Amino acid sequence: MSIKIIHYHEGRVNGTLTSVIDLYLNMSKYAQIELKISTKDVAQFILLCKNNRYFGCDNILTFITNEKSFEAETVICSTKTLNDPIDIQCNKMILIDSLDIMRAHYGVVPILQSVCDDTILLCNPANAEVTDFNYIEYYHKFSPERLSRISTCEQFLYMRIAKHDIMVVEGLYFENIGKKIFETLYLNKRVDYYSRDVRDGLYYYLKLFGVDGAKDQIPLNISPDQIESKLFMHKNDKILELI
C-alpha cells in the first residue's frame, strides 16, 4: 500500500510545515512512507532548509518537487492542503488539523472539502466543535530530530495577542498548538504563559499536562520528560493505527 505525506509550501516556515516534517520523521520509524513537498520556488525552499539545519531531516531536499499532482492509496496532509493549488487522488485521506479549520469556519478561507469519501480528521477538541469531518481526538507529535536542530532558544513570554498570524478575525485569536511553548520547555528554557481565558487548541494541549490553560502560568511548569511522554510519537499512536 502506498502512503504519502503531501504538503504545499508557500515560502516561509510555519507550523504546518514543521508539523508535516515531524510527522514524516516520526512515522517513517514505523512504516514505509513517502514525503512530497510541492513548491513553486524550489531554490528558495532549499535555502530555507539550509538556514534551518534541514529541520532535522537530512534527506529533506530529496522530497522537494514542483509537481502539482499526486496519487497514492493513502494520503496524509494538513487541512490547509485542501485549499492549496495542488491535485490529490487517493482512496483514503488522513487530515491533521491546522488553523485553517477555524479560518474556514469564520469564512476567512473557503470551506474545507476533501477529495476523498474515506476521510478522517485528527484534531484537538476545539477544532472538533466546528468541523463537519469525521474526526478522532488527536494531538500533533514533535520529532526529537527536529527539536535537536533548533539552534537558538531563549526564555519565552507567550501572549496570544502578540501573534498576528493566529488572529482569525478581528479580536479572535486561536492557537492551534503553540509549538514554540513546548519547544522552549523541552530545551529547558522558561516560559511565562498569559491566557486571556481562551479555550483553543493550545488550551487542550496544556490540559494534557494537567495545566489549566484558561489561567496565567508564570512560569509554566512542564518538564522535558513530560513533553517526551505526551508529545512524542510512540508505537501505539493513533495515526499508526489508521494506516
Q: Is the pLDDT of residue 11 over 90?
A: no
* 127 and 178, same domain (yes or no): no
* 28 and 134, same domain (yes or no): yes
pLDDT, mean of residues 4-16: 93
The burial of 14, by beta-carbon neighbours within 10 Å (0-12 exposed, 13-18 middle, 19 or more buried), is given as: middle
- Full residue range of the structural domain in which residue 43 is found: 3-143+233-242
* 133 and 160, same domain (yes or no): no
* 76 and 11, same domain (yes or no): yes
Which cell goes with 115?
A: 477529495
* 22 and 138, same domain (yes or no): yes
The pLDDT tens digits of the residues spanning 217-238 come to 999 999 999 999 999 999 999 9
pLDDT range class, residue 153, cuts 50, 70, 90: confident
pLDDT, mean of residues 147-155: 88
Q: What angle do CA 23, 26, 32 make, to 5 degrees?
A: 95
Asked if 96 and 78 touch (Cβ cutoff 8 Å), the reply is yes
Nearest one of 34, 28, 38 to 64, comparing CA atoms: 38
The pLDDT tens digits of the residues spanning 99-131 come to 999 999 999 999 999 999 999 999 999 999 999
* 80 and 164, same domain (yes or no): no
Q: What does the alpha-carbon distance between residue 80 and residue 231 come to, in Å, rounded to a whole number?
A: 22
Percent of the chain with pLDDT over 70: 100
User: How many domains is the chain built from?
Assistant: 2
Stated pTM of the model = 0.96
Task: Provide CB contacts within 8 A for 101, sequence distance 6+.
Answer: 79, 112, 123, 127, 130, 131
* 46 and 95, same domain (yes or no): yes
pLDDT range class, residue 12, cuts 50, 70, 90: confident
* 168 and 90, same domain (yes or no): no
